[in-house]
Amino acid sequence: MLEDKEHLRKIIQTVIELFEAEKDNLLAEILRESDIKAEQTHYDNWNGGIYFYSIYIALPVDKFVKLKDIESETEIKIKNKLEIILRSQEHIKISEVFIIPESTQKIDWNRISDIFNKDQLITELNYLKDTLISVSTGNQQIQNINDEYIKRSKIVDNVLKKLSIENPNPFKDLWQWYGRWSSGEMPKYQDRRAFIGEMFGNIIQLLQETEQPDRLSLSVNLSGWERIDRSLSEIKVRLKQAVNEEQYQTIGLLCRETIISLAQAIYNKEKHPTLDKVEASKTDAKRMLDAYISVELSGSKNEVLRKYARASSDLANVLTHKRTANSKDASLCASATISLINLIGILEDRH
């Protein structure tokens, strides 16, 4: 039934895809950004039994207020889509759909952008948690890791202060923790694990549930461009995780493949003749995009746009081949790739 979160998630994803197919991107975005629950509100035993559900869509307050004039209309549209999807399931009916505001704690991640991103901060907190557990359960010796623990503990404390989040960890070095657990208050390993787990549990959950604004902003609909969509998702993940030259180069290669996929998606050799009359191969993104841009942005009034499109394409292409890549290069390459997709997407009426 709809109480099953995974089952409900699949149904909501289908609703999102229906709205996207109709180019109703506002409603698709609402559903993507909401916490959605189903609650059984009535049961009718007629004809083998019918279960009636209310759907609650919890939306962040800043998004909710934007719907103040179309809230009821939006609820009806979502309800109609759900009924279409569920019409083959005769024993399930949707009573009502409610969009409700939900307050969320705001974290200004820009305050620590020069130190950590969200995932890196969570990793550091988990390191401190695991180390405290490890030394108190006989797996590591304090004298071997205390210096490293102190250094990383100070960094985390500084980061949490910048985010205006209270640090739940009072142990600035491991000997302080030793004094606490050896006092007789926590005689069993299980007690120590539970104490440390509870101490870090709330803050790690808070950070996991708090959205970090994406550095890469996509403003066009990628329906039908699934390969490009998958590539962008992978680029975003790798950009957060990359720490060395090889990983930054991998981001460049992913950007290159994404640009090739973009060129393949929009290039039509009959409609877009190449500038040098040489037939473009399936992987010749530059020749395909140059041909596309010349046709779709033809005329003197589009000269600036042509330059912008080619500059975005050239920048991304240059950075994908840079062997001494660093974090800045990877971010520039990803941003240039996103800019190119946004521009082409708008030309293709995907905005």
Annotated domain spans of the chain:
5-102, 109-209, 226-347
Q: What is the mean pLDDT of residues 159-174?
A: 93
Is the pLDDT at 259 greater than 80? The verdict is: yes
**pLDDT tens for each residue of 285-343:** 889 988 999 999 888 888 888 888 778 777 776 766 776 778 888 888 888 888 889 88
d(CA 322, CA 340): 19
Q: What is the mean pLDDT of residues 85-93?
A: 87
What pLDDT does residue 173 have?
95
What pLDDT does residue 69 have?
80
What pLDDT does residue 120 have?
86
What pLDDT does residue 216 have?
61
**pLDDT tens for each residue of 45-58:** 777 788 888 999 98
List the CATH code of the domain at 5-102: 3.30.300
- Cβ(291)–Cβ(306) below 8 Å: no
What pLDDT does residue 214 have?
55
Separation in Å, CA 274 to CA 7, 20, 47, 258, 292? 49, 33, 66, 20, 8
The pTM for the full model equals: 0.43
- Strands annotated E in 35-169: 35-44, 50-60, 92-102
Determine the number of helices (DSSP H) and then strands (DSSP E) in the chain: 13, 3
**pLDDT tens for each residue of 189-206:** 999 999 999 999 989 988
Is the pLDDT at 215 greater than 60? The verdict is: no
Averaged pLDDT of the chain: 86
